[in-house]
Structure 1
Amino acid sequence: MSLITGSQAAADDSPPHVETDEVTIVVATRNRPDRLAETAAHHRAPVIVVDNGSDEPIRLPGADVVRLDANLGAAARNIGVERARTPYVAFADDDSYWAPGSLARAAALLNAHPQAALLTAEIRIGAAGRLDPVSAAMAAAPLGTPPGAAGPSVLGFLACAIVVRRDTFLAAGGFQPRLFVYGEEALLAMDLAAAGHQLSYVPSLTVRHFPEPAGRDPRGRRRLEARNRLLTAVLRRPPAVVARAAMAVLCSEPAALGDVLRQLPWAVGSRRRLPTPVEQALTRLAVE
């Protein structure tokens, strides 16, 4: 994979109102320069943009742009994290940004909670700031809050709303390239928890998200989500969970089964069971 890298503007073009020198924002994007320009104006930390093989090279003054010659999906974020030189990395999509004060607050929390590998923020959608249902579910705290943790425990998240410890993220392998996009977060959450790290929901951190109403390809997204749910189960979950996941895919997105079969030798070869407490927590979430 060849890369074209480099800062695209002089220092006086850097983003205004930088909140902290401990966080880098990593944004993976493809073919949406206008959306990226809109949200980038709100970023309050140094920015690394990973251009996922856009048809025309992305240019963003003040950002360090890494251009890939192919679309790596979610794994493009890994390249941005590798390039970062701060202890913490916040992810954003080209249609999202962190609300003022959130990045500095996240850095302070990670400094104060050394067991925390990942903090996930409250997500507010659109101009009206509607609470994302994912955030509402996290706020219910079904897994409770461990003593001394930064917030309620989670075993899932949306990538555009997390701040991670750079070294811990890389040690866990980052986002799995074979999952590409949609649902790629679940495997990383499991692996971080399996390694003994805390993952916490912190509603005092806020992300503003402005997704397109229908998305780019709703039908393709559903198929990829179904494939990734089943592959993730094969990679980490007990046989009974794998069987239920396969039946769910067969009923909802049968075409995804063929996609899974093509990846099955790799998934079985990479299979690793989770520690009992992590598996029990996932089971509890499934019945909530």
Structure 2
Amino acid sequence: MKTGVTQPSVGAVVLTMNDRPDEFPRAMSSLLAQEGIELDVIVVGNGCVPEQTPPEVRTVALPENLGIPEGRNIGAANVKGDYLFFFDNDAHLPDRGALANLAATLDQAPDLAYVQPRITDPDTGATLRRWVPRLRTSDPARPGTVTVMAEGVVMIRRDAYDAAGGFPGRFFLYHEGVDLAWRLWDHGYTGTYAPSVIVHHPATDPARHGTFYRLNARNRVWLARRRLPAALIPANLATWAVLALWRTRGREALRASLAGLKEGLRDDCGAREPMSWRTVARLTRAGRPPIL
């Protein structure tokens, strides 16, 4: 029945490598069950032809694995919607109104570019520190303005995403959400954390990936080189180095981090487009100066 009310249009991007035969169907089922929106879904096979996809979902098969950020960019280019929803294929949405609520949050202010739901482990209900997009993470139920994002489950205004240029494809994995968030802020936008909207995601350890320490270090350096004013780069990298030494356990992890640091300083990081000092001030006032 037509109500005369225009529903928000959402383009959802899901990546797959056909390696989650149980989680992926559940993710897709919860996504397609969303109500109160016009939904368009694209599944990007990163180095594969997507399997287990529902018949109403379109797919893109990439001949090689281009990494998560570039896979998301390709998905965004092939999906329709005023809002883009990036959704990890091992997550699921327990509430059928989740996407409508995220879109309604973005509708509240034209300068609001992205909204981050609260991510919780489906078994324990815990929200990991890295899933809360602010420095003070002790209360994951507290909403508010945020300057970074947990890019695996996030909704972004399409025109803002396009203006900022999307995710940094060359990062392959890790810190691409910080890069995009900083560019969105540099374009005059803001972000918000909406913990009333829950998304379930297993609490896995990112260090399970063999490349974690190297890519984490490399991309942290690339992030600073690409986006920070020159005067802030040493402070940013020194802060990261101290934290990395404190958190890293084991010689292999340390060696991998040092190799990534060397790559980050040596290799091409892409175009350097540092944020303005006005953006530095805005980020600092929002509670997260870009040296942290």
Counterparts of residues 1-288 of structure 1 (less than 5 Å): 22-34=9-21, 35-43=23-31, 44=34, 45-54=39-48, 57-61=50-54, 62-73=56-67, 74-100=69-95, 101-136=97-132, 138=134, 140=136, 152-213=144-205, 216-217=208-209, 219-247=210-238, 248-249=240-241, 252=254, 253-264=257-268, 266-267=269-270, 270-282=271-283, 285=288
1:170–1:58: structure 2 CA closer, same or farther, 3 Å change rule? Answer: farther
- State the distance in 2 between where 1:202 and 1:82 align: 26
After TM superposition, give the deviation of residue 52 of structure 1 in Å. 0.4
1:167–1:230: structure 2 CA closer, same or farther, 3 Å change rule? Answer: same
**AA aligned opposite 1:64:** R
Contact 1:33/1:58 (8 A) holds in 2: no
Query: What is the Cα-based RMSD across aligned positions, in Å?
Result: 2.7
The DSSP-based 3-state class of the residue aligned with 2:272 is coil
Deviations along 1:130-152, one digit per CA (max 9) or x if unpaired, are: 123245564959xxxxxxxxx62
- State the distance in 2 between where 1:84 and 1:207 align: 22
Deviations along 1:231-285, one digit per CA (max 9) or x if unpaired, are: 1101111334322454555965111133224424x54xx2222122321355552
The DSSP-based 3-state class of the residue aligned with 1:285 is coil
Deviations along 1:168-201, one digit per CA (max 9) or x if unpaired, are: 2122111111111111111100100000012111
- State the distance in 1 between where 2:183 and 2:205 align: 32
Using structure 2 for the length normalisation, give the TM-score: 0.77
After TM superposition, give the deviation of residue 37 of structure 1 in Å. 1.7
Contact 2:134/2:148 (8 A) holds in 1: no
After TM superposition, give the deviation of residue 230 of structure 1 in Å. 0.7
Percent identity between matched residues is 30
The DSSP-based 3-state class of the residue aligned with 1:228 is helix
Using structure 1 for the length normalisation, give the TM-score: 0.78
May I ask how many residue pairs the two structures share in their alignment?
255
- State the distance in 1 between where 2:131 and 2:237 align: 27
After TM superposition, give the deviation of residue 117 of structure 1 in Å. 1.1
1:212–1:131: structure 2 CA closer, same or farther, 3 Å change rule? Answer: closer
1:139–1:272: structure 2 CA closer, same or farther, 3 Å change rule? Answer: closer
- State the distance in 1 between where 2:176 and 2:135 align: 22
Contact 1:174/1:188 (8 A) holds in 2: yes
- State the distance in 2 between where 1:87 and 1:21 align: 7
After TM superposition, give the deviation of residue 97 of structure 1 in Å. 2.4
The DSSP-based 3-state class of the residue aligned with 1:131 is coil
Structure 1: state its 5+ residue gaps.
1-19, 142-150
**AA aligned opposite 2:264:** V
- State the distance in 2 between where 1:164 and 1:70 align: 26
Instruction: Name the residue aligned to 2:140.
Output: none
